[in-house]
Amino acid sequence: MTTITGALDVLTLLREVLGERVIVDPARLAEAQADKSGQVSHGPPLCVVEAHSTDDVAHVLRIAHEAKTPVVTRGGGSGLAGGAIGSPGEIVLSLASMNRIIEISREDRWAVVEAGVINLDLNNASKKLGLWFAPDPASRHWSTVGGNIATNAGGLLCVKYGVTREAVLDLTVVLPGGEILTLGHKTVKGVTGYDLTSLMVGSEGTLAVITEARVALKPVDPHPVWTISGTARDIDIATLSVQETITRGRQPAIMELMDGPSVGHVANYLGRSAIATDSAQLIAQTDGAAAQDEAEAIAAIWRECGLEVEVGQDREDLIQFRRAMHPAMEAVGQVLIEDIAVPRSRLGEMFSEIRRIEEEYDVQIPTVAHAGDGNIHPNFIYSGDDVPPHIWDAADALFRRAVALGGTLTGEHGVGLLKRQWMMAEIGQPLWDLQWSIKKLFDPHGILNPGKVFDPAVLNDSESATRSSSKK
């Protein structure tokens, strides 16, 4: 390959291979500057490239590697951490058109899909064969399977079925130099060599580009699901009920907690004036042959803890009420949606900390939780186009308390741009250095999603770096 001297040469070489799929239309570039987090880069990327195959991706990365041009891989743009937004001088590599479901095996209970397949589309296709895909992020209507894998996405069903990592069998990935590798196994078991498949899950596009995946499916259960709904004036009663449910060995498929303010916002959004908007709501769902017995056992625990409880078949309306939290927050105005997790035994303490931080920083933080696995989503409400300093200060206090309680900065949204500055506080210098060395081993020129997750500059000036990444 001839020496590449600048952006025009990069565009020329990309167009020689991919033609009109190299896009510089201002509207498309502006779209690639943002994601669902509300983060917006300070300027448009060099171009958007629409890949149609793994070979297309390999061509792009070879050119980018030679030119040392940054590449940001993007799926559905549903991320909440600013992990897939493009900045000036960067190629945004869109995998949205790589949306083929290649194979579904009823016998082996897996599907082979391209990275751009929409989560819900995979589920709908699988159900025709009596199977389903367990990861169910709130964005499943528009998030891609590749994006789910890149962020190790979760959802409501994690308490029983785990996060995306548990569903990934093998991956096709492209390294920064254009090399195409297949990682993992077609088999349920497989321990030959290092588990590089798991390394890729949650790597946020910083090590390689995931183009294809073999994911495990589960058989559709013919039994009806049962739903348990509990309300309490005191959030502590709700968190105690969660802990007792787990401690006593019960296994719901879903267990979600909404504090009083979040219930109020969703009720207003849906026009449900009859709902007690000052009460916390705990919702669980059970499935399988013993779903009714499990539901009644959970209900008994909750009543013992002091919740007002209702039990019934299905009640999908209650689950949809919980899933309406994100659009309800969007309707309120500007919201910084966060994502922490703590040990389930510390859930009550974390909710107490959230209330304390609300008072200390004079902010509203309606909060919901995937309570069964300790994953909490505080929503910081603010006004204006930029995230105000006091909101970042409140978020800083919240993140540090989560880590102090034995938790983590992010349960399922990833680090992206938003949480780079707190990485060291959680993992420490030795582990940070080790992970950074892995990043450099895979990506020696630093072209894959630069500035996301790992950015040494942020460690030196974390406050200004965070503020500069806020929405413009």
Residues 6+ apart with CB under 8 A from 200: 149, 171, 173, 183, 207, 208, 210
Query: What sign does the dihedral 213-219-225-229 (CA atoms) show?
Result: negative
113 with 101: CB under 8 angstroms? yes
CATH architecture type of domain 101-219: 2-Layer Sandwich (3.30)
Per residue, what are the HEC states of 360-406? HHCCECCEEEEHHHCEEEEEEEECCCCCCHHHHHHHHHHHHHHHHCC
pLDDT in tens, 116-156: 999 999 999 999 999 999 999 988 899 999 999 999 999 99
CATH 3.40.50.720 fits 7-94, yes or no: no
Number of residues that make up the chain: 472
Average pLDDT by consecutive 10-residue portion of the chain (472 residues)? 65 96 97 90 96 98 96 94 95 98 98 98 97 93 95 94 96 97 93 95 97 98 96 94 96 96 93 77 96 97 96 89 90 90 96 97 96 96 89 96 96 92 92 95 96 77 39 34
Query: What sign does the dihedral 244-247-248-250 (CA atoms) show?
Result: positive
CA distances from 271 to 79, 259, 264, 268, 315 (A): 28, 18, 10, 5, 18
Residues 6+ apart with CB under 8 A from 306: 232, 234, 237, 240, 241
Instruction: Output the average pLDDT for the chain.
Output: 92
pLDDT at 470: 37
Query: What sign does the dihedral 180-184-186-190 (CA atoms) show?
Result: positive
pLDDT at 458: 66
pLDDT in tens, 417-436: 889 989 999 999 999 999 99
154 with 369: CB under 8 angstroms? no
pLDDT at 467: 38
CATH of segment(s) 226-404: 3.40.462.10
Using a pLDDT cut of 70, give the percent of the chain over it. Answer: 94
Neighbours of 136 (CB within 10 A): 22
Secondary element (H or E) of residue 328: helix 325-332
Backbone angles phi and psi of 433, in degrees to 5: -60, -40
The upper half-sphere exposure of residue 152, i.e. CA atoms within 13 Å in the direction of its Cβ, equals: 17
**DSSP at 436:** H
- The separation between the first and the last C-alpha atoms of the chain, rounded to the nearest angstrom, is 39
pLDDT at 330: 85
Beta strand 71-74 with 91-94 is parallel
Q: Domain residues of the chain, as ranges?
A: 7-94, 101-219, 226-404, 420-468
Q: What is the dihedral of CA 420, 426, 427, 432, to 10 degrees?
A: 20
Q: Which of 79, 26, 77, 19 is nearest to 49 (CA)?
A: 19
Backbone angles phi and psi of 27, in degrees to 5: -65, -40
> Which pTM was predicted?
0.91
Tokens of 359: 């008072």
CA–CA distance, 81 with 93 (Å, rounded to integer): 18
pLDDT at 4: 58
